[in-house]
Structure 1
Amino acid sequence: MFLEKYCQNDNEKISFTRQQASDFAKNIADDFNPLHDIDAKRFCVPGDLLFAIILEKSGLSQNMTFTFSGMVNDGIALNFPNKINESALITDDNGKEYLSVSVSGDNTENTATIRSLTQAYVEFSGHTFPHILVDLMAKEQMMINPTRPMVMYESMSIHLDNLTFTSVKLELAKTTLSIDGKRGVADLVFNLVADKKIIGHGKKHMLLSGLRPYEQDVINEIITMYNNKKAAFLS
């Protein structure tokens, strides 16, 4: 299992320690969001890890939509389906819903295909900040609160023309940020490319809260802190 060291599987129920979730964020997604630090007060398991587990357990379908409805903390045991027929819910034993998935089209369980798409998407998703979001915030002259940055991954959808590839890249196609008071909605549209041809596309949808007027000096400080944190981890 590609993801076995980033989760715990006990009688088909999957849970995560803070260390496992944080290691996935940093080592696989190159994501240093403070929400995934092991000592974070509002710690949450990366949504990309849940996405990766679904693909590994249920396969990759031509059309997939993932909608997140709750933050997963460490120690919560989740029920993941081994097969998805049209739709499925990821819940705990109390019936609380954390993620819904809808699928259509052909499905593949080819390991190389699934691993290639998973790695391409997770790497892209982990680089949302600062690589993409800072440019969007500068354009709209609004920014996240540096003392309490809240950027939540709400949904993601993908469409694939075919499932015959074994190597795929993800290329950013379009970005938008809509502001409503102190809240924002960011959409990152991307193409999926194999053998130099576009074979599909997708969109990552995020919510930003606690926005305030843009200050370049403050943004520079946030980026420096982020990069220093990454450098310290890598060293």
Structure 2
Amino acid sequence: MTAIPAFLDAYYAAGPDGSVRVSAEQASAFAKDVAGDYNPLHDVDARRFCVPGDLLCALVLGRYGLSERMTFAFRDMVRADEPLYLPEAETDTGSIAVRDADGGVYLEVERAGAVCRDPGSIERFIREYAAFSGKTFPHYMIPVLEEHGVMFHPDRPLVIYDSMGFELETLAFGEPVMELSDRTLAIEGKRGSVQLSFAMQEDGEAFGAGWKKLVISGLRDYDDERMRAFVEHFRERKAAYEAERDGMQPRGYSG
């Protein structure tokens, strides 16, 4: 097992029974301060609040290490303070399932290849992926929706983080950079799946690639005016949060 990088200590709590719990405040702080993700589902007072998928990925990477090849499949949304159990891994390859006390699965992970256990390298990878992932909306998603002439319901957006994966040629990296390499949208009726592909680089040299998949429900014809208003509201929320943070850092903020 790997020691979870210290910077994640602000975003979860370890229970005496070996469980991991994430409060609404911790989850919201990770989403905004690490990932730059202002999805309303991660607001502390959100009616349908859920823990960011990127935080679950980060905890898995921190616990088991960074493997050369990994896939993460999300099976259910995690609510605030839900006890999660990350099992002891018998080997560095194979499957891992993050479960609740009743055995319900929230995240399934497949991993293969060599493993990096250096906390510094793992932290840099987590921070870079979270920052990339946090740009999903509006930076990466809006252009592909507009291209296909569809959008989600602006009053009741339902965009689910389905899965992500990557394959690395080396684990001996210093400062990794993730850049969008492609984005696609597959539409089936009122449902669509967006795949964002990314390249892993350092000093301009590629050393890996990966993807993130999201599922959108309730697709409808693209309305430029309504989508512009939605994006503007998103930016206003971000600006208001950052202004408040600069004046008074919220609980769980790590700088």
The one-letter code matched in structure 1 to 2:131 is: E
Deviations 1:163-189 (A, max 9, x none): 111210001100001111211100000
Match of 2:180 in 1: 172
Contact residue 98 and residue 106 of structure 2 kept, 8 A? yes
**Local SS of the residue matching 1:79:** coil
* Residue 59 (structure 1) aligns with: 65
Deviation at 1:82, TM superposition (A): 5.0
State the percentage of identical aligned residues. 38
Instruction: Supply the AA of the counterpart residue of 2:186.
Output: S
* Paired position in structure 2 for 1:47: 53
Using the TM superposition, give the Cα deviation of residue 39 of structure 1 relative to its aligned residue in structure 2, in angstroms: 1.1
- Helix, strand or coil: the match of 1:32? coil
Looking at structure 1, the residues matched to 142 and 197 of structure 2 have their Cα atoms a distance apart, in angstroms, of: 16
> What is the rounded CA distance, in whole Å, between the counterparts of 1:77 and 1:139 in structure 2?
41
Residue 222 of structure 1 aligns to a residue whose secondary structure is helix
Match in the other structure for 2:246: none
Q: What's the offset of the Cα at 1:2?
A: 1.7
1:4 to 9, 21, 43: 9
- 1-structure distance, mates of 2:188, 2:100: 33
Pick the aligned partner of 1:96 from 101, 104, 110. Answer: 104
Regions of 4+ moved over 6 Å: none
Give TM-score, length-normalised by structure 2.
0.90
Does residue 35 of structure 2 align to residue 23 of structure 1?
A: no
1:61-76 aligned at under 5 Å gives the runs: 61-76=67-82
Q: Hey, what's the Cα distance between the residues in 2 that align with 1:142 and 1:81? A: 41
- Provide the rounded CA distance (Å) in 2 between the counterparts of 1:82 and 1:22: 28
Offset of 1:36 from its aligned partner?
A: 0.5
Q: Return the offset for 1:133.
A: 0.7
1:60 Cα deviation from its structure 2 partner: 0.2
Q: Distance in 2 between matches of 1:105 and 1:166?
A: 19
Say whether 1:106 aligns with 2:117: no
User: Which deviates the most, 169-178 or 107-116?
Assistant: 107-116
Cα deviation 1:109-165 (Å, max 9, x = unaligned): 012211111111100101100001110110010001011111111100110001111
Ranges in structure 1 where 5+ consecutive residues have no aligned partner: none
CA distance in 1, matches of 2:29, 2:116: 28
Distance 2:11 2:57 in 1: 13
The match for 2:253 is none
Aligned length: 235
Describe the shift of the 1:82–1:163 C-alpha distance in structure 2 as closer, same or farther (beyond 3 A).
farther
1:131 to 139, 143, 160: 139
What's the TM-score, normalizing by structure 1? 0.98
Shift of residue 26, structure 1, vs aligned partner: 0.5
Asked if 1:161 corresponds to 2:169, the answer is: yes
Instruction: Tell me the distance in 1 between the aligned counterparts of 2:75 and 2:50.
Output: 13
Any conservation in 1 of the 2:93–2:113 contact (CA below 8 Å)?
no
Q: 1:115 aligns with which of 109, 123, 143?
A: 123
Q: Paired residue for 1:223?
A: 231
Contact 2:84 2:98 in 1 (8 A): yes
Q: Secondary structure at the match of 1:27?
A: helix
Q: 2: distance between equivalents of 1:93 and 1:70?
A: 14
C-alpha contact (below 8 Å) 1:192/1:201 kept by paired residues: yes
Which of 153, 157, 162 aligns to 1:149? It is 157
1:61 and 1:166 mapped to 2: Cα distance? 16
What amino acid sits opposite 1:91 in the alignment?
R
Is structure 2 residue 206 aligned with structure 1 residue 192? no
Q: Partners in 1 of 2:88 and 2:231 — Cα distance? A: 40
2:241 corresponding residue in structure 1 = 233
Q: Measure how far apart 1:225 and its partner are.
A: 0.3
The offset of 1:54, in angstroms, is 0.6
8 Å contact 1:150–1:208 — kept in the other structure? yes
